[in-house]
Amino acid sequence: MPNQVNIKQNSSVEKNSWINLQKSMLSLYGQDVYTSWLQNITFVKVDYNALVLSVKTRFIRDWIVAHYADKILDLYKKEEQNVSRIEFQILERTETKNNKSNVLEFEKKESAQDSGGYGLSKIDDKLVFDNFVVGRSNELAFSAANRIIDNLNKYNPLYIYGGVGLGKTHLLNAIGNRLLTKIDKVIYVSAERFMYQFVRSIKNNDVVKFKDIFRSAKVLIIDDIQFVSGKDVTQEEFFHTFNALIESGSQIVISCDRPPNDLDRIQDRIKSRLSGGLVVDIQAPDFEQRVKILKQRCLKEFHASEKNIIIDEEIINFIAGELKLSIREMIGAFNRITAYLSINYKKISVADAKSILRDSLNKAEANLTVEDIQKTVVSYYNISMHDFMSSRRSRAVARPRQIAMYLSKKMTSKSLPDIGRRFSGRDHTTVIHAIKKVEELILKDKGFENEIKDLNNKLIKRV
């Protein structure tokens, strides 16, 4: 019996790890990739060293294996180190006529525009020009976008490229939103979704309908076109749709993570078509622009929060100074600070910010697990792991346990319930109590504070 309870606990830890992983994937790849592919993966179990996942179709499995499996495994290993491979189960809920009603229902939920069952991506009405900060890094792309809006078809296609998290999707949506005020046939789709829906249409014997949806567009906005590479049929279809649209006078806007010529496995004639209009890039923003973006976020937070969160200039400069490569990551870091402030309503120092953001600032630390911390604490205080994990409450083991919980919260990204579970299934309130206790002692007792610093250093060096 006790065994069973244990299994249950473990599997919920693993499930939680999966949820954490999905969150990381969402922030890594963005909403669209997430909804198109990653959300379609269901966690089944961890079987010895295999992470078992299920997906609906072979196509989804193949796509995930080709594009995301390595990353999924990497991230999952950070949560559960003994896992070394991924197994896929295919549910085979094939989209045949027998269960068409099922399929349509599924579609209804995810379809954002009226497109006869072929859900496209939704233009996000929060991504507009008003909140798009223009600086040296993106002024070229910004002015090209405006030229397109004022003068459709003059530059066709408009091709915008740049690294991850630099604002391509934002700019594309801003263009879409602006154009929607004067034209109604604006279609926005990520290349991934395009592929997914195209393959579905083949299975459903619906290709004509699928093509008609795209061919009716006055403006077609395609995000992340690098995902079209590879699949021959889809490339071909994409190319036909593309030509048909340009010939009928529709405007096409494209984003990509690289210039047209660097697209591997895309046919040359498609590449030259892609570069035939206007090609512009978005670079990483400079410090000044990063500060502007954060200040704009501050204003938004200030108005949105009940407590009127105020973030010091010093903290803004710190975040902008540290997170240089991706605006998405920088905003993620900013959000973590505001989340912290909305719970611990107090002034924070740069040192606090550093510790809140340590996962993003120092990737090595992010690899630290609760188990590493437990081992280090146990050996530091020279106690046995067995006693440490037991329910004994004597000071000699209880204090180190509290310290380990405190360090787990400070040094990993695990949630309180997650940490609790890793200490023989303790409750999150026990963890909260431990953290409070340790914080109290740090303030009161210099010697104790030094012990914590010492442990902290050992753990940092260890990774």
The nearest distance, CB 304 to ligand ADP, in angstroms, is 15
138 close to 282: Cβ distance less than 8 angstroms: yes
CA–centroid distance for 84 within its chain: 22
Closest residue by beta carbon to Mg ion: 169
Q: Does 383 contact ligand ADP by CB under 6 A?
A: no
Residues 13-32 that bind ligand ADP (CB under 6 A): 30
Q: Does 121 contact Mg ion by CB under 5 A?
A: no
The nearest distance, CB 445 to ligand ADP, in angstroms, is 43
Residues 62-121 that bind ligand ADP (CB under 6 A): none
Contact residue for ligand ADP among 169, 234, 251, 376 (CB under 6 A): 169
Q: Does 218 contact ligand ADP by CB under 6 A?
A: no
The nearest distance, CB 135 to ligand ADP, in angstroms, is 7
158 close to 280: Cβ distance less than 8 angstroms: yes
Q: Does 164 contact ligand ADP by CB under 6 A?
A: yes
Rounded CA separation 368/385 (Å): 18
Residue 361's binding partner among ligand ADP, Mg ion, none (Cβ under 5 to 8 angstroms by kind) is none
Q: Does 338 contact Mg ion by CB under 5 A?
A: no
Residue 164's binding partner among Mg ion, ligand ADP, none (Cβ under 5 to 8 angstroms by kind) is ligand ADP
Q: Does 400 contact ligand ADP by CB under 6 A?
A: no
The nearest distance, CB 326 to ligand ADP, in angstroms, is 7
Contact residue for ligand ADP among 117, 119, 157, 165 (CB under 6 A): 165
Site string for ligand ADP, 127-146 (x = CB under 6 A): x---xxx----x--------
Residues 27-46 that bind Mg ion (CB under 5 A): 30
253 close to 220: Cβ distance less than 8 angstroms: yes
What is the 3-class SS of the chain, one letter each residue? CHHHHHHHHHHHHHHHHHHHHHHHHHHHHHHHHHHHCHHHCEEEEEECCEEEEEECCHHHHHHHHHHCHHHHHHHHHHHCCCCCEEEEEECCCCCCHHHHHHHHHHHHHHCCCCCCCCCCCCCCCCCCHHHCCCCCCCHHHHHHHHHHHHCCCCCCCEEEEECCCCCHHHHHHHHHHHHHCCCCCEEEEEHHHHHHHHHHHHHCCCHHHHHHHHHCCCEEEEECHHHHCCCHHHHHHHHHHHHHHHHCCCEEEEEECCCHHHCCCCCHHHHHHHCCCEEEEECCCCHHHHHHHHHHHHHHHHHHCCCCCCCCHHHHHHHHHHCCCCHHHHHHHHHHHHHHHHHCCCCCCHHHHHHHCHHHHCHHHHCCCHHHHHHHHHHHCCCCHHHHHCCCCCHHHHHHHHHHHHHHHHHCCCCHHHHHHHCCCCCHHHHHHHHHHHHHHHHHCHHHHHHHHHHHHHHHHHC
- Give the range of 9-17, 162-170, 180-188, 226-234 binding ligand ADP by CB under 6 A: 162-170
Closest residue by beta carbon to ligand ADP: 167
CB atoms within 10 A of CB 422: 23
Residue 331's binding partner among ligand ADP, Mg ion, none (Cβ under 5 to 8 angstroms by kind) is ligand ADP
Choice between 10 and 39, CB closer to ligand ADP? 39
- Give the range of 242-250, 326-334, 358-366, 424-432 binding ligand ADP by CB under 6 A: 326-334
405 close to 415: Cβ distance less than 8 angstroms: no
The nearest distance, CB 181 to ligand ADP, in angstroms, is 20
Q: How many residues bind ligand ADP (CB under 6 A)?
A: 18
Choice between 127 and 459, CB closer to ligand ADP? 127
- Give the range of 55-63, 83-91, 102-110, 164-172 binding ligand ADP by CB under 6 A: 164-172
Contact residue for ligand ADP among 57, 83, 86, 168 (CB under 6 A): 168
As given in the structure block, the two tokens for residue 186 are 């604006």
The nearest distance, CB 134 to ligand ADP, in angstroms, is 7
Choice between 328 and 426, CB closer to ligand ADP? 328
- Give the range of 97-105, 157-165, 347-355, 417-425 binding ligand ADP by CB under 6 A: 157-165
Residue 377's binding partner among Mg ion, ligand ADP, none (Cβ under 5 to 8 angstroms by kind) is none
Q: How far is CA 79 from CA 82, 405, 419, 421, 434, in A?
A: 9, 16, 12, 13, 22
Q: Does 169 contact Mg ion by CB under 5 A?
A: yes
- Give the range of 22-30, 352-360, 384-392, 430-438 binding Mg ion by CB under 5 A: 22-30
CA–centroid distance for 18 within its chain: 14
Contact residue for ligand ADP among 72, 279, 293, 431 (CB under 6 A): 293
Binding site for Mg ion (CB under 5 A): 30, 169
Residues found near ligand ADP in the complex (CB under 6 A):
30, 127, 131-133, 138, 162, 164-170, 293, 327-328, 331
